[in-house]
Amino acid sequence: MDMIHFDLIILISEYSQGSNYYLLNKSLCRTIIMVEKGKYWKEKYNGFFKNLNKEYLILSGDYNWKREYIRIIRFNYWSKMNNKMKELCAHSEDSNNWNEIPKEIGNLTNLQLIYIGSNIEKIPKEITNLINLKILCLADNKIKEIPKEINNLTQLLILDLSNNIIDKFPEEINDLPNLRLKLIGKRSVISILSYTSVLSKNQHLFNSKLFLRKYIDDSV
């Protein structure tokens, strides 16, 4: 691919959307997708986090880097994330603005608690990289499915997916060796009592009182 041809492909890639690729011939379409997975868009993706001094969030692997770049520039809460944090709670007055869990959360391997709502539709499989995660509370969202890789969360004690629209749970969810509480369906007073019981036995792990207070307030 000569330089003029490459520049033209980049230009098309910059202004095209995946939804209208069907208008192109197959060869050109394949070339554009190859560019989107290649160095040009990967460097734009990396550069975004480098400018934020958050290189630790950079993903590695096989991705369409154009799509990932577009996704990350639309997310407004990178300032809330750092590689030393143990708790990520987004149940506050701005929680309704969280419409996704970014894939990069899987790089924050010190996280022990995640509590996010209320417009999340998908759990990224990258979240299952969090080998130290103890509590995953994604209640009151719009989640439809759970990644089968969830059995990688071997330290998980509490999994709360109540008040979602999940039709089917992966069998792998039964392979979590330390799971003490799994909540699905509609939240109830029993749910809160169950939380209290599990947290009281593991309060040394995180700020359980703060978390429980948030949970109760949002349940009322």
Task: Pinpoint the alpha helices (H) of the chain.
Answer: 3-15, 26-36, 39-51, 65-74, 189-201, 208-219
3-state secondary structure of 9: helix
pLDDT of residue 16: 65
Q: Which of 74-78, 103-107, 215-219 has the highest mean pLDDT?
A: 103-107
- What is the SS3 assignment for 157? coil
Reported as a single tens digit per residue, the pLDDT across 12-71 is: 666 665 555 555 667 777 787 888 899 999 999 999 999 999 999 999 999 999 999 999
Q: Which of the two residues, 4 and 139, has the higher pLDDT score?
A: 139
- What is the rounded CA–CA span in Å between residue 52 and residue 99? 21
| CA-based torsion, 102, 98, 151, 107: positive or negative | positive
Question: What letter does residue 112 receive in the DSSP assignment?
Answer: -
**According to the model, what pLDDT value does residue 65 have?**
96
Of the two residues 214 and 161, the one the predictor is more confident about is: 161
In the chain, % of residues over pLDDT 90: 48
The helix (H) or strand (E) run that includes residue 158 is strand 158-160
Which residues are paired to 115 by β-bridges?
89, 137
Q: Specify the amino acid at residue 78.
A: W
- Predicted TM-score (pTM) of the model is 0.81
Q: How far is CA 208 from CA 135, 190, 204, 219, in A?
A: 10, 18, 8, 16
Half-sphere exposure in the Cβ direction for 216 (13 Å, CA): 13
Per-residue pLDDT at 95 exceeds 60: no
> How high is the mean pLDDT of the chain?
81
Domains belonging to the chain, first-starting first, are: 3-73 (no CATH), 79-219 (3.80.10.10)
Whether the predicted pLDDT of 220 surpasses 50: no
User: Is residue 3 scored above 50 in pLDDT?
Assistant: no
Question: Could you tell me the pLDDT band of residue 200, with boundaries at 50, 70 and 90?
Answer: low
180 pLDDT higher than 80:
yes
The sign of the CA dihedral 61, 66, 68, 69 is positive
- pLDDT digit string, tens, across residues 117-149: 768 999 999 999 999 999 999 988 999 999 999
pLDDT of residue 90: 76
**Span 152-163, pLDDT tens digits:** 999 999 899 988
Q: Per-residue pLDDT for 213 more than 70?
A: no
